[in-house]
Structure 1
């Protein structure tokens, strides 16, 4: 059984890799491993060592702390994500984020303001 932290870190690897348009094969080549190992990391089936996580962070151009964002302590010392499990793995949500960042900044800000108004009205 995979540890929840390993699953969370793997999802963050997949999320970042997908956002920058990198394939598992490309990431594997940059890190010096086989793409099947990236698959195992992304599902949480295999735990990522500290040095490998350092290399992955470098290849994905994020700080190592990026992979732990969204974790919190629970009463028994286990950790779980504040982000719903399906959000990081949800292709539609990731497509939306990717599309959002492809919009020119001034238009993106207006779209963000509109989305905030609509979500406030819905609440």
Structure 2
């Protein structure tokens, strides 16, 4: 069974990759491995070494710490191997597509859309 930290890191790799619109093949090429290895990292079935995580962060423009953000919030602590958290909303492919599309909108229009969404959520 995969360790919860490995699963979390894999999810963060996948989230970042989706957010920037990068394929597994592109990431694998940038890091110098096969895309199947990226798949294994993203599911948490294979652990990512520190040096490989560094390379992945460089390829996707984030520091290594990015991949560990949210671990405490998910109830994962050193050595526990368990998480009591609800599923992360950004693990949903549709949600990631929405975020990517949102940031593709010009900033002034994006602010107006955000305010509209805020008003609509207050009504619901």
TM class, shorter-chain normalised? 0.7 to 0.9
Note closer, same or farther for the CA distance 1:33–1:104 as it changes in structure 2 (3 Å cut): same
- Matched residue pairs, number? 121
TM-score by length of 2: 0.86
State the 1:41 CA deviation: 0.1
**Contact 1:72–1:81 (8 Å) recurs in 2:** no
Matching residue of 1:22: 22
| Structure 1: gaps spanning 5 or more residues | none
Distance 1:99 1:35 in 2: 25
Distance 1:104 1:94 in 2: 18
TM-score by length of 1: 0.87
**Contact 2:4–2:76 (8 Å) recurs in 1:** no
Matching residue of 2:2: 2
**Which structure has greater strand proportion?**
1
Query: How well do the aligned residues superpose, as a CA RMSD in angstroms?
Result: 2.1
Distance 2:42 2:98 in 1: 21
1:121 counterpart = 2:108? no
